[in-house]
Chain A
Amino acid sequence: MRARLLKFAGAIAALAVATWAVAQEGHPLKGSWIGVWDSNETHGDNVVVILDWNGEEITGMINPGTQNIEIDEASLDPETWTVRIEADAQTDDGDTISYVIEGVIEELELPSRSIIGTWRSDNGRGVFDIRRQ
């Protein structure tokens, strides 16, 4: 089951590379993002992040429809365009691990802007690189 999900996520990521991002001239984090959290042995290398802005806080989910990791807290420092995301997730064994993702928005002016940085959890750490779709 998990291998099938990874293939599905990979296919989405491949498709995303070949498509244009939907325009977004409002809050720069709002939208769907696809990419990798490299070397994540717990939840796989591929990642989908949905982010929204309600005027007061950034909300969203990691890997919706598959792992459904609710974002507990997210922030954006507009001085440096640094993004920080915190989320608790369940492992296959039922344990809870805490993720912290930190990255910087690159190519802010493009609808297909990206967030590049790192992720870390109780089980590891690695490069985090997602691009807006």
Chain B
Amino acid sequence: MTRRNIAILAAAALTGPVAAHHSILGKFDDAAALTLRGTVTHIDWRNPHAHIFMNVETSGTTLNWAIEIESPIELALSGWSDQTLLPGDAIVVDGWRARDGSRQAWGAEVVRADNGRRVYQLKDTAPPVPLAARPAPRWPDGSVALGAAPGTSGGYWRYPSMTSLVEDGVEVEISRAGLLADLDEADEVAPLQPWALALFRNRQSRHLRDDPLFLNCKPPGGPRQYQSNLGFQLIEDKASERVFVLLGSGNHNYRIIYLDGRDRVGQVTGDDDNPLYYGRSTGEWEGDTLVANTRSFNEDFWFTSSGLPHTNRLQLTERFTRTDLDTLEYQVTVDDPGAYTRPWTATWTLRWVGGRELPSHFCQNNRP
């Protein structure tokens, strides 16, 4: 683990379990704090973010505000529901005003006025870290199991140690949503070509508000699928020599890594004229590491939350290593001569969430 990764983990611990799936700063201005007092009129419990609608009395006029809060999946995991607040409940909201001046706000803190209790706050749902590493489970043939151990119930991978793509060894301060603390460090994140650096800076300067995952429900293709906040499941189909990657985020998409030696082109959905959000993947085992090679990506999505560009010349080499029962190391080498000056590598870890089902998220009804 690099020093940078350690810094990211420390930053995550300090900021608590805030899990917005994209940069809320694209829509809300953290420099425009506001406090609203009023009564709940409606709870809209839908992805990607739930909303509280509330009436607020202002100078004798009643105005209705939309308060955006975390995703229903995250809130439900923390014990909240659409019945936590009901129409007529009095609340106080501290948050940030929408940049467009509309009556929308990010609900950083929602408190019941009758008893002063805070509601709809996220709890840390990550499983506890074992005191000692437990060995990775293995199949009867001795190979490492990337998913649930043979004979046990489900589980999946979540809680990535990095939530946006940064080249190994680079030290930059970047938020969980992918925003750089210092835009002048943009050229350090990856070896970008000049046009790609300028585009990356443009996206960062706009607080990532143009992210097509948020605006248009585009899938989190490429390495982004392993940095999404709802995790993923790896299911090994030994009989047909393939690994299914099921995603909790995005639109509950899946991809297949073929291990049967087939050629990538023409053997799976799509062809060279029909590039894909997740590309086409073949793989093989190198010891205890699954190595997947993927190409034929389209250019319709962001392959990382921070907005690093890619082109259809992108090829990924992904290395999945379950170092112990609770830890998956994911390493990706990005080779895209259309956007970068050389291949580069990023590495992070994920934590095993044993015995739980993969969350099922579908992007719907965005309110830009």
List residues of A whose CB falls within 8 A of some B CB.
Answer: 22-28, 30, 53-55, 76, 78-79, 81, 108-109
* Chain A residues whose C-beta falls within 8 Å of the C-beta of B269 in the assembled complex: none
Dominant secondary structure at the B interface: loop
Cross-interface CB contact of B299 among A25, A76, A79, cutoff 8 Å: A25
- The verdict on A26 contacting B212 (CB below 8 Å), with A55-B337, A81-B198, A109-B206 known, is no
Q: Are the C-beta atoms of A78 and B300 separated by less than 8 Å?
A: no
- The verdict on A28 contacting B199 (CB below 8 Å), with A78-B194, A109-B210 known, is yes
A-B contacts counted at CB < 8 A amount to 55
Q: In this complex, what residue of A is CB-closest to B297?
A: A26
Enumerate 21 A-B pairs (CB-CB under 8 Å) in ascending A order: A23-B216, A23-B300, A23-B301, A25-B299, A25-B300, A25-B302, A25-B309, A25-B310, A26-B299, A26-B310, A26-B311, A27-B195, A27-B311, A28-B195, A28-B199, A30-B299, A30-B311, A53-B311, A76-B195, A78-B198, A79-B198
Cross-interface CB contact of B338 among A27, A78, A108, cutoff 8 Å: A27
Bound: A30/B300 CA distance, A: 12
Q: In this complex, what residue of A is CB-closest to B312?
A: A26
Decide yes or no whether B274 CB sits under 8 A from chain A: no
Q: In this complex, what residue of B is CB-closest to A22?
A: B300
Bound: A55/B301 CA distance, A: 18
| Interface-centre pick from B218, B309, B338 (highest chain A CB count, 10 A) | B338
Bound: A108/B201 CA distance, A: 12
Q: Are the C-beta atoms of A26 and B206 separated by less than 8 Å?
A: no
* Chain B residues whose C-beta falls within 8 Å of the C-beta of A108 in the assembled complex: 199, 202
Bound: A25/B194 CA distance, A: 15
* Chain B 189-205 interface 0/1 with A at a Cβ cutoff of 8 Å (1 = within): 00000110111001100
Bound: A22/B216 CA distance, A: 12
Q: Are the C-beta atoms of B194 and A26 separated by less than 8 Å?
A: no
Q: In this complex, what residue of A is CB-closest to B303?
A: A25
* Chain B residues whose C-beta falls within 8 Å of the C-beta of A55 in the assembled complex: 311, 313, 337-339
Q: Are the C-beta atoms of A23 and B311 separated by less than 8 Å?
A: no
Bound: A55/B340 CA distance, A: 9
Q: Are the C-beta atoms of A78 and B195 separated by less than 8 Å?
A: yes
* Chain B 298-323 interface 0/1 with A at a Cβ cutoff of 8 Å (1 = within): 01111000000111110000000000
